Amino acid sequence: MDTTTAITADVIVLGFGKGGKTAAAALADAGKQVVLIEQAEGMYGGTCPNVGCIPTKMLVHYSNAKRLEDAAQEFFANSIERVRALTTAGRAANFNAIDRKDTATVITGSARFTDPHTVAVGEGHDEITVTASTILINTGSEPIVPDIEGIADSAHLVSSSDLTRLERLPEHLVIIGGGYLGLEFASIYRHFGSDVTVLEAADHLLPKEDDDIASVAADILAGDGITIVTGSTVTRVVDTEGGALVSYTIDGKTYTIRADAVLPATGRKPATAGLNLAAAGVETTPRGAVIVDEFLRTSQPHIFALGDVNGGPQFTYISLDDSRIVLDRLLGYGTRSTADRVAVPQTMFITPPLATVGLTEREARGRGLNIKIARENVANIVAFRRAYTVEETRGVMKFILDAETDLILGAAILSIDAQEVINTIALAMRQGVTAATLQDAIYTHPSTSEAFNEVFTKIIA
């Protein structure tokens, strides 16, 4: 391209994530002229299918399929290659799903606002400017590199994205942070054969969960051979000829461990740097999240922010729901909002997975609610025969129930298929289905759901 190109469209979508691509497709199908701008070819489709949900869950599957007789490095390399093949195919499918539409165009490059209705891509004679009456920001989030001496410059620093693409299995992976992301990778890489150490600043893992659930999860991880160091503060990372030396303190005493790879799993921040939001008059929080109202409108009513970039829950399915809210605003009745969300579940894909929804026991008691607790270890739920058929009886099921109405206020399911059955519980909570109804329901056999026939009878408090 030799000269600056100017394009006028109805809608600009910044970022190819779940919310952005879903909205772009629907708006194009409605006859709107849509321009979707993605900064990197490797991210067509967004984080989830490229470096997030899909590749990581594939790695969970492959790591659990590894046998003792499999050579760790070869098995790992083959698994990564299979992940790469699927993500490559997914990128092409995502690109074509938008670009083949008559009223949609995909532009690859870094975008920046020049005014409230215009963004520019590229520079100089290669610059493209796009102007539209409606703009959707869907640029996602990016990993936070903590302020630890030496870590940013370490040759052994890896991101969560890197860990879905490494070609060689690390001998020793050190993970800084014991949250969902850190523990998922700890479980994955341990099952592939790496030595894994998790350094967690809190005095126990998963401090947001009830202590009994966190304790079972910690026992499972430790039983798989993962070293968990709680109450630790990482102070320094130094590269040496034999790898990185990670120093941390506990109660004022300093310890050091060696690592081939160091993963900071200390959170993600909205990816807004470089967008020049000030030129658009779009306000952000001190952390860089785009400020939105319940309809996902920014400080500029014609600009919306979807997904991680607006500072909400960092889940692909939330980004998808964001697209429903925006599409209702642009094509529907404009009544749907974030206030409509009730009982949103989440899953940590350790093995077996931990899925939760609603209130914990601690939160419910803190609110002074009159509750009863149904809880049982998976191994003791006689009706849960599926756990025995697949030889995975580790875990626990726990439900927080309203003592007067028998409605479910919250749940924590640490078991096989937890990522599936938690959706049934969430739906029950939204529709006002009682625990007794779930207890007496008919389920297929053997299945994880039929554990409900028994666990709701296990009232412990």
Just list the catalytic residues.
445
List residues bridging with 149 in a β-sheet: 236
Residue 267, annotated as binding a ligand:
yes
Q: Is 414 part of any known ligand binding site?
A: no
Q: How far is CA 322 from CA 98, 299, 313, in A?
A: 18, 17, 11
Q: CA 237 to CA 257: how far, in whole Å?
A: 10
Residue where the block lists tokens 């900064």: 39
Whether residue 178 is annotated as binding a ligand: the answer is yes
415 CB-contact burial (10 Å; exposed 0-12 / middle 13-18 / buried 19+): buried
User: How far is Cα 381 from Cα 396, in angstroms, rounded to an integer?
Assistant: 9
The dihedral formed by the CA atoms of 151, 153, 154 and 156, expressed in degrees to the nearest 10: 100
- Any known ligand binding at 180? yes
Is residue 181 part of an annotated ligand binding site?
yes
Asked if residue 183 belongs to a known ligand binding site, the reply is yes
Identity of the amino acid at 370? N
Beta strand pairing status for 172-176 and 195-199?
parallel
Is 308 labelled as part of a ligand binding site? yes
140 is annotated as contributing to ligand binding:
yes
Determine if residue 139 is labeled as part of a ligand binding site: yes
Give 332's contacts (C-beta < 8 A, 6+ positions apart): none
**Rounded CA separation 111/250 (Å):** 45
Instruction: Tell me if 401 is assigned to a ligand binding site.
Output: no
- Beta strand ranges found along 220-338 (DSSP E): 227-229, 233-240, 243-250, 253-259, 261-264, 268-270, 303-305
Q: For residue 276, which amino acid is it?
A: N
**H-helix or E-strand containing 400?**
strand 396-402
> Is residue 182 marked as binding?
yes
* Type of residue found at 121: V
* Residue 221 near residue 350 (C-beta atoms within 8 A): yes
Instruction: Give binding residues as ranges.
Output: 57, 139-141, 177-184, 200, 267, 308
Binding residues for NAD(+): 177-184, 200, 267
Annotated binding site for FAD: 57, 139-141, 308
